């Protein structure tokens, strides 16, 4: 039994099973770069932290209910609609969440409100928030209870519900 093979059950026991695929590559790097033990462990730890962060984002994205993946950088600024880019940039900074403010996106159908709402939700997820995208006209979906820690981002038609596990209550 090799040392890596012996390491796998120990990693699983410590609930670090997915980390078992990393050591062969990292051991080769450590040997090639002649890293000391502390540097090697730092690389392994960093890999695990990044893997977990990426997994959290993937889980939040899959649970958000987005119709499609919409990223702010994919917005078509050449479209023939009028937007206050400075104001939109301010919204995408997500400062309104820290200030406990609301955002309302309003406009006619077909101007990209759903895209912007989902892109805003995507940005909130990347910042560590949990988001739920629901169309306002879909009454079959559950609505948040009053006094919950729900944060509303409402475009005309569909809307996003970024939520936080903090104790902040929105009135």
CATH number at residue 93: 3.40.50.300
Q: Domain range holding 76?
A: 72-163
**pLDDT value of residue 26:** 84
Token code pair at residue 129: 């928030």
> Which positions ≥6 away from 51 have C-beta within 8 Å?
18, 19
User: Is the residue at 34 inside a domain?
Assistant: yes
Instruction: Compare 155 and 133 and report the one with higher pLDDT.
Output: 133
Give the integer Cα–Cα distance in Å for 70 and 92: 13
85 lies in some domain: yes
Rounded Cα–Cα distance for residues 104 and 152 (Å): 8
- Give me the half-sphere count of Cα atoms (radius 13 Å) on the Cβ side of residue 41: 3
Indicate whether 48 belongs to any domain. yes
Residue 88 and residue 132 in one domain: yes
Residues 143-165, mean pLDDT to the nearest whole number? 47
My answer on whether 56 and 77 are in the same domain is no
pLDDT in tens, 23-73: 778 888 989 999 998 998 899 889 889 988 999 999 999 988 888 888 888
- What 8-state DSSP symbol labels residue 28? H
In the three-class reduction of DSSP (H, G, I as helix; E, B as strand; rest coil), residue 54 is classed as helix
CA distance 77 to 131: 25
Q: What is the CA radius of gyration of the chain?
A: 22
What is the Cα–Cα distance from 64 to 76, expressed in whole angstroms?
23
DSSP string, 64-101: TT-SS---GGG--TTSS----HHHHHHHHTTHHHHTT-
- Domain total for the chain? 2
Q: What is the DSSP letter of 165?
A: S
User: What pLDDT digit, counting tens, does each position of 88-147 carry?
Assistant: 888 899 998 888 877 777 777 778 888 988 999 999 999 988 888 877 666 555 555 555
Same domain for 48 and 87: no
Query: At 133, which helix (H) or strand (E)?
Result: strand 130-135
């Amino acid at each position: 039994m090799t040392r890596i093979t012996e390491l796998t059950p120990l990693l699983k026991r410590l609930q670090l099973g997915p980390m078992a695929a990393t050591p062969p590559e990292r051991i080769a790097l450590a040997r090639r770069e002649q890293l000391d033990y502390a540097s090697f462990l730092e690389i392994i730890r960093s890999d695990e932290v990044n893997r977990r962060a990426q997994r959290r984002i993937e889980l939040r994205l899959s649970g958000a209910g987005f119709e499609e993946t919409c990223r702010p950088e994919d917005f078509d600024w050449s479209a023939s609609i009028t937007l206050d880019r400075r104001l939109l940039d301010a919204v995408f900074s997500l400062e309104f969440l820290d200030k406990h403010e609301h955002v309302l996106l309003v406009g006619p159908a077909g101007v990209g409100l759903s895209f912007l709402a989902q892109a805003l939700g995507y940005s909130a997820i990347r910042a560590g928030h949990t988001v739920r995208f629901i169309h306002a006209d879909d009454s079959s979906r559950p609505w948040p209870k009053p006094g919950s820690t729900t944060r509303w981002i409402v475009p005309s038609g569909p809307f996003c519900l970024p939520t936080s596990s903090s104790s902040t209550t929105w009135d």
